[in-house]
């Protein structure tokens, strides 16, 4: 692994700390200090002026704009219009002057800069001493997003001077934000005034979505001015020497989704609801999070801070607030990937929520049900039946204009089916399956049948002209991941239909199912081509993969990475280099289907061919290496997993956090070192202890219980909060009640 860290933050188990202002890392810090509560996300941009490249970013789930129409597509099924999560109102904007000087840390004298993000509450605080002539003014900015009352946000600014001095302060609601530094997609504002509440609303230029943003400032700043895009409240502050002056701002944001009453919104901005009370609410929220989901590592403070940051950001980004939300690859922390969600949501992110919060996990699946109509339309675009889920989306429609991904990658569809299987395996939620899950599986399998084809003499079935998870092989036939997952989906459907609980003739009729159609599916499943050699134990990645020209990945100069930027596009496809796990990926999803020997053979064959062009890749390889007893390799792949963004390993944290890679880091510990397996009715644990750790503890929420596992050099100590349960541990069924100690094998 050629990636190296670029550390500049302090190490602390519950805090992210930047001590001293690192101007060259400013946009990286903006990403790292991002706050979110699923409803809205706010990058860690400065409230005040700053003369540095920066990205002021606030993003509301579901607020999108449509990209430029590329004109009529040349070919049927090629997407010609995209959409993206839109940068929205800046409700934290400030402007501060003192003695003729504007506060801008690139232009003024200051000392003692410190920024901290408290992962026990979500409070972001930035403080320093501003030296204005012979006066020293302590300034602190605090901000908080309410994790449960998700439309509420809070800002507090504290000033303290060593001499009497006057400041001018402006606090704003600004819709003049330029998306990607190019275009403002917001119409002119409408101003709202009610007593001491001021606010604005604006609509997007194309999609006509409206956001209302209200603020209550205490004490009042007396003056108000407006422009086409912005409302400012401003006034003069008289600081008395050595006495705190505190300005508090309570914000209420609302994405309009129907009729509304401004008077009701105004009532939300109560006098007695302060940032301190919101901090207490958030502390209780995160206390519960860590009670059910914390990972505690003794022996590596870097890893401890890293994994807790991952858990913190996963909870911030998504906690099941709405069934209309999904998890974008950058969460709500930046504009890269246009805010789109990919198949990572189901394969990488869902496991965390399965073992922390059933409602969150279910709502991730409900997003796919709510957008089933779009998936069915997409299948028609591709001359198929059933439902084809998008490779990239924010609202359920396919947003990827690259035909090789949007038309050739089937894994988003099978990932949704797998996610339903995985959820049901953990929670046995019959109501969900009857109302929603079965219909999705029926439509998915209909697509898989009509997308696949038989060979010339009908002896085998499979998928032609596809791109697998690897993404460095285009228009291949019989990608084994695709074929294997298709077969598993058919088999899962048959299992469901054989269960009397899910007998539903009306639903079968609605989905166009007949006995003949089911017969065709069984035949396709039986004849699915799986390219496997029993002698070598190898699965060929796709038909013809073994015949591709070989390149030793270690011979590629480090300056050639990332390859997408340094190799011509077609060159990438002309060899056996792998971008990210493909064969290993389906073996990870269904680990119980494969023997130790099969896993070892395929890991040892494909790992030397993988360049990990995706940040999702190393964690899967670490999980396999851990299971195979390759501890040094497991640690090598794990080394940067939890700190990918904190230490900017990819040199692109400035664009936003890698949310699905953050989820992969959680999987790396739980599925790797703890050895969790969850593809069977009974979950399994096979813990190992990384050599640099003294011990570690993992909390998992499972079937209304919290399972607490502690792994040290000699023992696995395991406790259950709730009813006793039987788990498979080191291959044996073990009944767990309270404080069980098991000798590590």
Query: In three state form, how does the secondary structure of 103-158 look?
Result: CECCCCEEEEEEEEEECCCCEEEEEEEEEECCEEEEEEEEEEECCCCCCEEEEEEE
pLDDT above 70 covers a percentage of the chain that reads 99
How far apart, in whole angstroms, are the C-alpha atoms of residue 603 and residue 600? 5
Write out the two tokens for 152: 């509420």
Round to whole Å and give the CA distance between 718 and 699.
10
Helices (H), 452-479: none
Separation CA 374–CA 326 (nearest Å): 15
Beta strands in 346-490 (DSSP E): 453-454, 461-462
For CA atoms 603, 604, 609, 613, the dihedral sign is positive
How far, in Å, are 377, 458, 496 from residue 453 at the CA level? 21, 9, 24
pTM: 0.96
Q: What is the mean pLDDT of residues 122-151?
A: 98
Report the alpha-carbon distance of residue 239 to residue 570 in Å, rounded: 65
Confidence (pLDDT) at 73: 66
Answer yes or no: is pLDDT of 575 > 50: yes
Residue 730 CA to residue 674 CA, distance in Å, equals 11
Q: What is the end-to-end Cα distance of the chain in Å, rounded?
A: 30
Q: Which CATH architecture does the domain made up of 33-288 adopt?
A: Distorted Sandwich (2.70)
pLDDT for residue 1: 44
User: What share of the chain in percent tops pLDDT 90?
Assistant: 94
Q: What angle do CA 396, 399, 401 make, to 5 degrees?
A: 155
Indicate the domain borders of the chain.
Answer: 33-288, 340-529, 682-745
pLDDT band with cut points at 50, 70 and 90 for residue 72: low
pLDDT band at 561 (very low <50, low <70, confident <90, very high): confident
Confidence (pLDDT) at 490: 98
pLDDT band at 581 (very low <50, low <70, confident <90, very high): very high
Query: For the chain, what is the total number of helices (H) and then of strands (E)?
Result: 22, 30
Q: pLDDT, tens digit, for every residue of 483-521?
A: 999 999 999 999 999 999 999 999 999 999 999 999 999
340-529 is classed in which CATH architecture? Alpha/alpha barrel (1.50)
Whether residue 469 is predicted with pLDDT greater than 50 in this model: the reply is yes
pLDDT digits (tens, 9 = 90+) for 306-331: 999 999 999 999 999 999 999 999 99
What average pLDDT does this structure show over 347-355?
A: 98
Q: Write down the CATH number for the domain with range 682-745.
A: 2.60.420.10
pLDDT score, position 198: 97
List of long-range contacts for 186-195, beta carbons under 8 Å, 24+ apart: 186/88, 186/89, 186/229, 188/228, 188/229, 189/226, 189/228, 189/229, 189/230, 189/231, 191/226, 191/231, 192/262, 193/224, 194/262, 194/263, 194/266, 195/266
For 228-240, the pLDDT digits (tens) are 999 999 999 999 9
Q: pLDDT (tens digit, 9 = 90+) per residue, 674-729?
A: 999 999 989 999 999 999 999 999 999 999 999 999 999 999 999 999 999 999 99
Return d(Cα 328, Cα 350) in angstroms, integer: 13
Sheet of strand 725-729, all strands in order from the earlier edge strand to the far edge: 684-685, 725-729, 732-736
Q: Is 467 helix (H, G, I), strand (E, B) or coil?
A: coil
Across the chain, mean pLDDT equals 96
> Distance of CA 428 to CAs 113, 433, 508, Å?
52, 9, 21
Q: Which residue has the tokens 């570690």?
A: 696
From CA 666, how far away is CA 134, in angstroms rounded?
A: 50
Q: At residue 402, does pLDDT exceed 90?
A: yes
612 CB-near residues (< 8 Å, 6+ apart): 1, 579, 580, 618, 621
Mean pLDDT to the nearest integer, 443-448: 98
Run of H or E including 262: helix 262-268
**How large is the average pLDDT for residues 635-650?**
91
DSSP letter at 589 equals H
């Amino acid at each position: 692994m050629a990636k190296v860290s670029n550390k500049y933050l302090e190490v602390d188990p519950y805090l992210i700390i930047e001590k001293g202002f690192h101007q060259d890392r400013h946009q990286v810090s903006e990403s790292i200090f991002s706050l979110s509560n699923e409803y809205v996300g706010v990058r860690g941009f400065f409230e005040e002026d700053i003369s540095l490249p920066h990205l002021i970013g606030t993003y509301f789930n579901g607020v999108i704009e449509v990209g430029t129409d590329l004109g009529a597509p040349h070919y049927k099924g090629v997407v010609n219009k995209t959409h993206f999560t839109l940068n929205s109102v800046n409700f934290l904007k400030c402007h501060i002057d003192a003695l003729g000087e504007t506060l801008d840390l690139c232009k003024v004298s200051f000392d003692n800069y410190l920024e901290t993000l408290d992962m026990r509450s979500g409070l972001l605080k930035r403080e320093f001493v501003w030296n204005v002539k012979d006066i020293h003014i302590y300034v602190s900015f605090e901000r908080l997003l309410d994790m449960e009352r998700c439309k509420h946000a809070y800002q507090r600014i504290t000033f303290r001077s060593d001499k009497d001095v006057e400041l001018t302060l402006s606090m704003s609601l600004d819709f003049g934000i330029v998306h990607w530094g190019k275009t403002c997609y917001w119409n002119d504002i409408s101003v709202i005034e009610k007593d001491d509440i001021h606010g604005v609303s604006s609509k997007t230029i194309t999609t006509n979505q409206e956001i209302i943003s209200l603020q209550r400032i205490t004490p009042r700043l007396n003056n108000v001015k407006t422009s086409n895009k912005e409302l400012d409240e401003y006034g003069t502050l008289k600081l008395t020497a050595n006495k705190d002056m505190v300005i508090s701002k309570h914000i209420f944001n609302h994405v309009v989704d129907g009729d509304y009453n401004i008077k009701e919104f105004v009532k939300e901005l109560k006098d007695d609801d302060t940032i301190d009370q919101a901090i207490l609410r958030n502390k209780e929220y995160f206390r519960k999070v860590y009670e059910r989901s914390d990972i505690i590592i003794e022996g590596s403070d870097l890893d401890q801070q890293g994994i807790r940051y991952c858990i913190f950001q996963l909870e911030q980004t998504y906690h099941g607030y709405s069934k209309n939300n999904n998890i974008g690859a950058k969460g709500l922390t930046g504009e890269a990937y246009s805010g789109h969600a990919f198949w990572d949501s189901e394969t990488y992110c869902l496991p965390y929520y399965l073992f922390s919060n059933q409602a969150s996990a279910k709502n991730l699946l409900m997003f796919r049900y709510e957008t089933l109509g779009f998936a069915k339309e997409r299948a028609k675009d591709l001359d198929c039946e059933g439902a084809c889920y998008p490779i990239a989306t924010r609202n359920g429609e396919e947003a990827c204009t690259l035909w090789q991904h949007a038309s050739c990658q089937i894994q988003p569809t099978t990932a949704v089916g797998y996610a339903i299987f995985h959820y049901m395996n953990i929670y046995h939620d019959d109501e969900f399956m009857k109302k929603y899950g079965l219909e999705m599986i029926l439509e998915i399998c209909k697509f898989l049948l009509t997308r696949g084809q038989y060979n010339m003499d009908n002896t085998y079935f499979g998928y032609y002209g596809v791109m697998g998870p690897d993404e460095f092989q285009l228009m291949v036939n019989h990608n084994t991941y695709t074929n294997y997952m298709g077969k598993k989906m058919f088999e899962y459907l048959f299992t469901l239909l054989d269960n009397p609980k899910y007998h539903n003739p009306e639903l079968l009729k609605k989905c166009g199912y007949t006995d003949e159609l089911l017969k065709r599916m069984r035949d396709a499943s039986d004849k699915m081509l799986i390219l496997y050699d029993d002698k070598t134990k190898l699965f060929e990645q796709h038909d013809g993969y073994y015949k591709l020209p070989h390149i030793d990945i270690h011979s590629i100069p480090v300056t050639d990475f990332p390859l997408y930027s340094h190799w011509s596009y077609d060159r990438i496809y002309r060899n056996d280099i792998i971008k990210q796990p493909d064969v290993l990926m389906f073996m990870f999803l269904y680990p119980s289907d494969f023997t130790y020997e099969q896993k070892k053979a395929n890991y040892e064959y494909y790992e030397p061919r993988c360049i990990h062009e995706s940040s999702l890749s190393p964690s899967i390889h670490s999980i396999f290496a851990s299971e195979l007893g390759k501890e040094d390799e497991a640690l090598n792949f794990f080394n940067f997993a939890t700190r990918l963004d904190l230490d900017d390993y990819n040199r692109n944290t400035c664009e936003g956090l890698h949310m699905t890679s953050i989820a992969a880091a959680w999987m790396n510990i739980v599925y790797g070192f703890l050895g969790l397996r969850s593809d069977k009715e009974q979950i399994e644990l096979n813990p190992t202890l990384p050599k640099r750790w003294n011990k570690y503890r993992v909390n998992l929420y499972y079937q209304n219980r919290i399972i607490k596992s502690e792994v040290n050099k000699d023992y696995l100590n395991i406790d259950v909060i709730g009813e006793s349960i039987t788990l498979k541990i080191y291959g044996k069924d073990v009944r767990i009640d309270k404080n069980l100690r098991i000798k590590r094998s």
